[in-house]
Amino acid sequence: MPNPIGVNTWTWISPFTTADAAILFPKVKEMGFDIVEIPLEDPTLADGPTVAEALKANGLSATVCGAFGPSRDLTSEDPANIQGSLDYILAAVKFTQEVGATVLAGPMYSAVGKARQVPPDVKKREFDMAVAGLKKAGVMAADHGVTLAIEPLNRFETDLINTARQAKDLIQAIDSPNVKIHLDTFHMNIEEESVYDAIVIAGADLAHVHASESNRGTPGSALAAWEDLARGIKAVNYTGPVVIETFTPDVKEIARAAAIWRPLAVTQDDLAYQGLVFLRALLN
């Protein structure tokens, strides 16, 4: 069965709001995508039932990804930030259920940008804190029929979970059927010795894939190991979503966060459509 192909709305806008559904979903459908991925930066800006109606009207399915800053950090020394992360995950899980999605993806173990050289005892303590928090989050997810897909990030964005092996160790410690792995080719291109081996390590626990070029441009245009991705997906019988994730340079805050300093394609529409054509040929 071919993998459904999706695109993240960060390709065009940030943050996602209810009103964006009426503008972006018809475009995404017309391009030929199966899925639209909604990055839920601020849960108060997106009404789940209204977004669900827009998805249905356009014949699209959805996945949801989270955004984790310092106030959403399960490894924080400040209990308010730990609770803030759990509160946000609960809101995101509820939104995911409301829009008819089953996957909430992202690096929900810590805050993005928390990248430091720390001694082993601190690393172990923060790993244990992430496990404890994600055990609670896993219960929330199970209550709403949602799977949490935990994403390793590259060394410049986190010091805790950088590889598929580390993600596997994390979810095995969490030991919840609703907590699995999300792999992203951008981060794998930096951290893994082999994209194929990383996917095999994730194995049956692979729940989500981001198809991101090595320079965040059009998939298939640069150095990401696409053939290894395709071989790995086939080897582990992964039939879930493969979603293009990139970021618009037109929204300065998101461009700065993702280090997008120049246009990555002639237009963002071109990037999305040409990426879709490439992925269809690669995976189908």
Supply φ then ψ for residue 70, to 5 degrees.
-60, -30
The pLDDT value recorded for residue 1 is 72
Q: Tokens standing for 122?
A: 């601190």
The pLDDT value recorded for residue 284 is 85
pTM greater than 0.95: yes
The pLDDT value recorded for residue 6 is 98
Domain limits of the chain?
A: 5-283
The pLDDT value recorded for residue 236 is 98
Q: Tokens standing for 76?
A: 């924080």
Residues of the chain with pLDDT under 70: none
- The alpha-helical segments, DSSP class H, found in the chain are 18-31, 48-57, 79-98, 120-143, 164-174, 185-191, 195-202, 226-235, 252-257, 268-283
The pLDDT value recorded for residue 282 is 98
Fold of the domain spanning 5-283? TIM Barrel (3.20.20)
